[in-house]
Amino acid sequence: MNSDVSDSPWAGSAPPKNIAFVATGTSKAEDGFSRLVDRYGNCPVEMAEVVVCLGGDGFMLETLRQVMDRPVPVYGMNCGSVGFLMNPFDQDDLPARLTATQSAVLHPLHMRATCVDGSVHEADALNDVFLFRQTRQAAKIRIDVDGRERMPELICDGILVATPAGSTAYNLSAHGPIVPLAGNLLPLTPISAFRPRRWRGALLPSSAVVTFSILETEKRPVAAVADFTEIRDVVSVVVRENPARSVTVLFDPGQTLSERIITEQFSA
């Protein structure tokens, strides 16, 4: 997932006036929503210059998916827990804050999953695409990259491909590397690998096409997940970056996604 970091869409021009506020269902987010709407009004998302998202990273991902391919940036205010994609909540001088932001253009991963019954399912993911065993049996997976077999058999609980923005999520929990946005790299990370036991994954160029082939599908069924989309009983999954789709995320100065990724690598 490439990311191009640039100035605010309103740099050198008038601050945005048409702001759409969306909030998750928590009391903290709903309270912030009420205060912001009372102060700045609320515009329909379809007519907005910017969408302000109140919640956590999960709700931010939902919002980004809803506005994907539209020319409207999203500014997150943290009303959740981690808030890696969010900015601090502050209701004061919001138009000025938006004018001072920096923007990052993100491209999702595309998953094409073929199931045992021959059906084909496609979905995009801003965080990651991962495969995971459905039963007590470990999964057996062959890995091809750009049409070349790289691992004939991985025995594991699962495996994932993450975007740079998603490299601090499930990928990091699975001991995968954090990837700077400008690196144009995709982490390929095993989940509880049994054989080869010492394999820790790989870093692939963002142009790579990764194909997972499930071995012994009847005995060792596997599900594939692209963010919010889960497909069960897959026999093969192809993952690649989707440069045709994009979303724009806004961050306060000095708090860009690239800076947060660097900071995360030095945290305990």
How far apart (Å, rounded) are the C-alpha atoms in residues 31 and 81?
Answer: 16
CATH 2.60.200.30 fits 109-241, yes or no: yes
Matching residue, tokens 């470990």 = 138
**Residue bearing tokens 């994009």:** 246
CATH 3.40.50.10330 maps onto the chain at: 3-107+246-264
- Peptide bond between residue 190 and the one before it cis (omega within 30 degrees of 0): no
57 annotated active-site: yes
Q: How far is CA 6 from CA 9, 188, 205, 248, in A?
A: 9, 28, 22, 10
- Choosing from 57, 93, 117, 144, the catalytic residue is 57
Q: Check residue 1 and give its pLDDT.
A: 43
Considering the four listed CATH numbers 3.20.20.30, 3.40.50.10330, 3.90.550.10, 3.30.70.1520, the one that applies to the domain covering 3-107+246-264 is: 3.40.50.10330
For residue 264, which phi and psi values (nearest 5 degrees)?
A: -60, -30
Pull the structure tokens for residue 15: 């601050």
Annotated binding site for NAD(+): 57-58, 127-128, 157, 165, 168-173
- For residues 250 and 177, the answer to whether their CB atoms sit within 8 Å is no
Where the chain has pLDDT below 50, the residues are: 1-3
Residues of the chain with CATH 2.60.200.30: 109-241
What is residue 2's predicted lDDT score, i.e. its pLDDT?
46
Q: How far apart are CA 187 and CA 161, in angstroms?
A: 6
Nearest to 60 by CA among 160, 10, 131, 127: 127
pLDDT at res. 105? 87
Binding residues: 57-58, 127-128, 157, 165, 168-173
* Backbone phi, psi, residue 224, to 5°: -120, 140
Q: What is the DSSP string of the chain?
A: --EEEEE-TTTTSPPP--EEEEE-SSHHHHHHHHHHHHHH----GGG-SEEEEEE-HHHHHHHHHHHTTSS--EEEEE-SS--TT-B----TTHHHHHHT-EEEEE--EEEEEEETTS-EEEEEESSEEEEEESSSSPEEEEEEETTEEEEEEEEESEEEEE-TGGGGTHHHHTTPPP--GGG-EEEEEEES--BSTT---EEEETT--EEEEEESTTTS-EEEEETTEEE-SEEEEEEEE-TT--EEEEE-TT--HHHHHHHHTT--
Tell me the pTM: 0.82
CB 76 within 8 A of CB 87: yes
